[in-house]
């Protein structure tokens, strides 16, 4: 299909606590028709959506509740349309986080826990929290068995991470990619059309833009398939 | 494995990139967006923009620069210089900055760090510290119960190294981390612009004192200096300006060198995919 003719409508969910602008700019660069909004109506009319996030989980959940977006996001996911969740957005998918008191969206089983590093050998540098910077990831599936959003990304590619908490899915098959930081850490989740990254593709240079380009193409294809 | 970061720093005066030697004798080195694109292509891991514009009337220029750069370059962007309030910070973040750095404003009112971290998250608050070795009486510095008077050889300076405070640089870094800073950017005013290497003792003292990442700044003259800052100085990232701006080394060469010496770095752009 021709992306020029079918610009998919993608909503970036604006819960006031996110780096929404860079996400919007990355999607536009990849050919999407982007609306940054906190409107449930706009979400329900979208072909695909991105749940971005930086900051604290309680603030984000409170904002989603105040905007009346919690149930519409669940409904969007149930409808089978692609949702890409980034960083804090990925952590919000879980039922519970060590970081906050409020329950999460409960779309993926498991929990969100803080990095805890004990004392290491004297003289050796300890691991810093937040886990900040470029780290390499490896996928749990070979390229042709991955969700289309992650195809064409070589194992060992570096992406930009900034987080103090990390996700521990209860079902290991939900883990799409891992990175290494004091042990294996969940870097990406795929559950149906729920796609999530702990890293920031919008800050990960060309390979990050490739993920957005894959997502935009995938949204266009699923939208076309729904119409057909 | 987490990679050490290489971060070109662009000093910006009224919308143009400049870099001085020891903060004197500024030389024009180009357009911010052009340089940002160039460094992104070369494999820079982040960019730091330091606004050295003297007049606050010209601050809007910086907002435009940030907006333009962040629409084109998709790597983390830190903006510092002249940010005094939550509103100043918000404006930069909304223009597309990923992190902001606080220096003098945090010294004047440390609570700004806590407030900014609460509002925007620690991950986007960088505490920038200009430190210099000082002999002589320490003076008095405290914040509430907290004694921040100099004990280590390094004192915190403001105004590009001209004005001394009574703050101990190592203690100030630790306090800043407690208040919610997500990263420390430490510049040695003794080595800055000298190209004789980073102050490794200072880097190590700071890195050992804080649980958050440390960016080394001031003194890079060759690639050995970067290796030393990361290895001996235990920094997480190195910042450099003139050696990149004037083409003495490319970011790619720096990464190759560090990688050859066994340090983890994000490989320079090899087998890169076409930008959509």
Chain A residues touching residue B5 (CB < 8 angstroms): 133-134
Least Cα distance to B224 among B189, B257, B262 occurs for B257
Alpha helices in B156-215 (DSSP H): 169-179, 200-209
Beta-bridge mates of residue B142: B147
Which pLDDT value is given to residue B86? 94
What are the Cα distances from residue A142, in Å, to A100, A139, A208, B10?
35, 7, 19, 41
What are the Cα distances from residue A108, in Å, to A111, A169, A173, A179, B269?
9, 7, 11, 19, 35
User: What's the token pair of residue B97?
Assistant: 């900055």
Q: Which one is predicted more confidently, B94 or B157?
A: B157
Q: What is the mean pLDDT of chain B?
A: 88
Work out how many CB contacts closer than 8 A connect A with B: 109
Instruction: Answer yes or no: do A209 and B276 touch at CB < 8 A.
Output: yes
Mutate to test the interface with B, among A4, A23, A128, A217 (most CBs of B within 10 A): A128
* Interface contact B272, partner A, CB < 8 A: yes
Please say if the pLDDT value at position B24 is more than 50: no
Q: How many CB atoms lie within 10 A of CB A18?
A: 25
Q: How confident is the model at residue B273 (pLDDT cuts 50, 70, 90)?
A: very low
Beta-bridge mates of residue A136: A158
Q: Is CATH 3.20.20.70 what the domain over B5-260 is classified as, yes or no? A: yes
Range(s) of the domain holding residue A207: 9-227
Please say if the pLDDT value at position B56 is more than 80: no
Q: How confident is the model at residue B243 (pLDDT cuts 50, 70, 90)?
A: confident
Q: How confident is the model at residue B162 (pLDDT cuts 50, 70, 90)?
A: confident
Task: Output DSSP code: residue A18.
Answer: S
Q: What is the mean pLDDT of chain A?
A: 91
* pLDDT, tens only, B8-17: 999 898 888 8
What's the whole-number mean pLDDT along residues B27-41? Answer: 77
Question: What is the total count of domains within chain A?
Answer: 1
User: What's the token pair of residue A87?
Assistant: 């960083």
What's the whole-number mean pLDDT along residues B154-175? Answer: 92
Instruction: Answer yes or no: do B272 and A130 touch at CB < 8 A.
Output: no
Which pLDDT value is given to residue B274? 38
What are the Cα distances from residue B183, in Å, to B22, B74, B130, B221, B238?
24, 20, 14, 24, 13
Residue B29, CA atoms < 13 Å, CB-side half-sphere: 23
A43 vs A49: CA distance, rounded Å: 7
A52 vs B136: CA distance, rounded Å: 51
What is the C-alpha end-to-end distance of chain A, expressed in Å? 13
User: What's the token pair of residue B125?
Assistant: 């608050």
B23 vs A69: CA distance, rounded Å: 50
Strands of chain B (E only): list them: 5-13, 16-21, 24-30, 47-51, 77-80, 99-102, 125-133, 142-143, 146-147, 154-158, 163-168, 183-188, 214-217, 237-240
A212 vs B86: CA distance, rounded Å: 31
Least Cα distance to B170 among B136, B214, B115 occurs for B214
Q: Which residues lie below 8 Å from residue B251, measured CB to CB, with a gap of 6+? A: B6, B8, B39, B42, B43, B44, B244, B268
Alpha helices in A11-87 (DSSP H): 20-29, 40-45, 57-66, 70-78
Mutate to test the interface with B, among A19, A20, A217 (most CBs of B within 10 A): A19
Per the domain annotation, does A1 fall within a domain? no
Instruction: Answer yes or no: do A135 and B2 touch at CB < 8 A.
Output: yes
B143 vs A17: CA distance, rounded Å: 30
| Cross-chain CB nearest to B74 (options A56, A163, A205) | A205
Chain A residues touching residue B182 (CB < 8 angstroms): 130, 132, 162
Mutate to test the interface with B, among A14, A20, A22 (most CBs of B within 10 A): A22
User: What's the token pair of residue B233?
Assistant: 């100085």
Least Cα distance to A26 among B71, B47, B44 occurs for B71
Chain A residues touching residue B259 (CB < 8 angstroms): none
Q: Which of residues 80-139 of B touch A (CB under 8 A)?
A: 93-96, 98, 120-124
Q: Taking CA atoms, what residue in B is nearest to A55?
A: B121
Per the domain annotation, does A128 fall within a domain? yes
Instruction: Identify whether B203 is preceded by a cis peptide bond (ω within 30 of 0).
Output: no
| Cross-chain CB nearest to B1 (options A26, A30, A135) | A135
| Cross-chain CB nearest to A206 (options B93, B122, B273) | B273
Which pLDDT value is given to residue B17? 83
Which pLDDT value is given to residue A5? 54
A167 to chain B, minimum CA–CA distance in Å? Answer: 18
CATH number of the structural domain spanning residue A64: 3.40.50.880
What are the Cα distances from residue B32, in Å, to A216, B1, B77, B83?
29, 31, 12, 19
Per the domain annotation, does A4 fall within a domain? no
Q: Going by DSSP bridges, is the β-strand pair A165-169/A110-114 parallel, antiparallel, or unpaired?
A: antiparallel
Which pLDDT value is given to residue B138? 64
The secondary element (H helix, E strand) that includes residue B116 is: helix B111-120
Please say if the pLDDT value at position A211 is more than 70: yes
Q: Which residues lie below 8 Å from residue B60, measured CB to CB, with a gap of 6+? A: none
Instruction: Answer yes or no: do B74 and A163 touch at CB < 8 A.
Output: no
Q: Taking CA atoms, what residue in A is nearest to B213?
A: A128
* pLDDT, tens only, A28-38: 999 999 999 99
Which pLDDT value is given to residue A1? 47
Beta-bridge mates of residue A160: A134
* pLDDT, tens only, B249-261: 889 999 999 999 9
The catalytically annotated residue of A87, A99, A163, A218 is: A87
The secondary element (H helix, E strand) that includes residue A135 is: strand A131-139
Q: Taking CA atoms, what residue in B is nearest to A201?
A: B74
Which pLDDT value is given to residue B275? 39
**What phi and psi values does residue A115 have, to the nearest 5 degrees?**
-65, 125
Q: How many CB atoms lie within 10 A of CB B118?
A: 15
Task: Output DSSP code: residue B257.
Answer: H
The catalytically annotated residue of B13, B51, B88, B130 is: B130
| Cross-chain CB nearest to A134 (options B45, B98, B275) | B45
Please say if the pLDDT value at position A126 is more than 50: yes
Task: Say whether B190 is catalytic.
Answer: no
* Interface contact B40, partner A, CB < 8 A: yes
Q: Which of A39-43, A92-96, B56-60, B270-274 has the lowest mean pLDDT?
A: B270-274
Mutate to test the interface with B, among A24, A87, A99, A162 (most CBs of B within 10 A): A162
| Cross-chain CB nearest to A133 (options B2, B70, B267) | B2
A190 to chain B, minimum CA–CA distance in Å? Answer: 22
Instruction: Answer yes or no: do A158 and B266 touch at CB < 8 A.
Output: yes
Chain B residues touching residue A158 (CB < 8 angstroms): 3, 266-267
Instruction: Answer yes or no: do A160 and B271 touch at CB < 8 A.
Output: no
Task: Say whether B11 is catalytic.
Answer: yes
């Amino acid at each position: 299909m021709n992306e020029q003719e079918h610009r998919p409508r993608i909503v970036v969910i604006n819960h006031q606590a996110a780096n929404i602008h860079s996400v919007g700019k990355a999607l536009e660069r990849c050919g999407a028709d982007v609306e940054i909004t906190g409107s449930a109506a706009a979400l329900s009319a979208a072909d695909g959506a991105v749940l971005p996030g930086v900051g604290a989980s309680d603030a984000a959940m409170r904002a989603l509740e105040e905007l009346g977006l919690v149930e519409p996001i669940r409904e969007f996911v149930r409808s089978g349309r692609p949702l890409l969740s980034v960083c804090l957005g990925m952590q919000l998918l879980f039922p519970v986080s060590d970081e906050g008191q409020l329950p999460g969206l409960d779309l993926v089983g498991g929990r969100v826990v803080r990095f805890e590093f004990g004392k290491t050998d004297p003289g050796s540098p300890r691991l810093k929290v937040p886990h900040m910077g470029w780290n390499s990831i490896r996928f749990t599936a070979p390229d042709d068995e991955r969700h289309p959003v992650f195809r064409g990304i070589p194992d060992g590619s570096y992406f930009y991470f900034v987080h103090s908490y990390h996700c521990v899915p209860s079902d290991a098959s939900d883990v799409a990619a891992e990175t290494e930081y004091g042990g294996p850490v969940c870097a990406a989740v795929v559950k149906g059309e729920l796609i999530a990254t702990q890293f920031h593709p919008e800050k990960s240079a060309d390979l990050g833009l490739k993920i957005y380009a894959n997502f935009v193409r995938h949204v266009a294809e699923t939208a076309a398939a729904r119409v057909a | 494995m987490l990679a050490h970061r290489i971060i070109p720093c662009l000093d910006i005066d009224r919308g143009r990139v400049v870099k001085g030697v020891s903060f004197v004798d500024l030389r024009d080195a180009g357009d911010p967006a052009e340089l940002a694109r160039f460094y992104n292509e070369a494999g820079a891991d982040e960019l730091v923009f330091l606004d050295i514009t003297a007049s606050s009337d010209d601050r809007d220029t910086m907002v435009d620069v940030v907006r333009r750069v962040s629409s084109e370059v998709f790597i983390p962007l830190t903006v510092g210089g002249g940010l005094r309030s939550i509103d100043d910070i918000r404006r930069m973040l909304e223009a597309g900055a990923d992190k902001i750095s606080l220096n003098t404003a945090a010294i004047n009112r440390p609570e700004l760090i806590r407030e900014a971290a609460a509002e925007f998250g620690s991950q986007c608050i960088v505490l920038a510290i200009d430190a210099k070795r000082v002999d002589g009486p320490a003076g008095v510095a405290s914040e509430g119960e907290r004694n921040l008077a100099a004990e280590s050889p390094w004192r915190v300076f403001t105004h590009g190294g001209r004005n001394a405070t009574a703050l101990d640089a190592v203690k100030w870094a630790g306090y800043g981390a407690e208040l919610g800073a997500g990263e420390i950017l430490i510049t040695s005013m003794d080595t800055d612009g000298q190209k004789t290497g980073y102050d490794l003792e200072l880097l190590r003292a700071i890195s050992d004192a804080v649980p958050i990442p440390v960016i080394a700044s001031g003194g890079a003259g060759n690639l050995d200096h970067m290796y030393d800052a990361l290895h001996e100085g235990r920094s997480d990232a190195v910042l450099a300006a003139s050696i990149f701006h004037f083409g003495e080394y490319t970011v790619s060469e720096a990464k190759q060198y560090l990688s050859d010496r066994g340090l983890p770095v994000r490989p320079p752009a090899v087998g890169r995919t076409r930008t959509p």
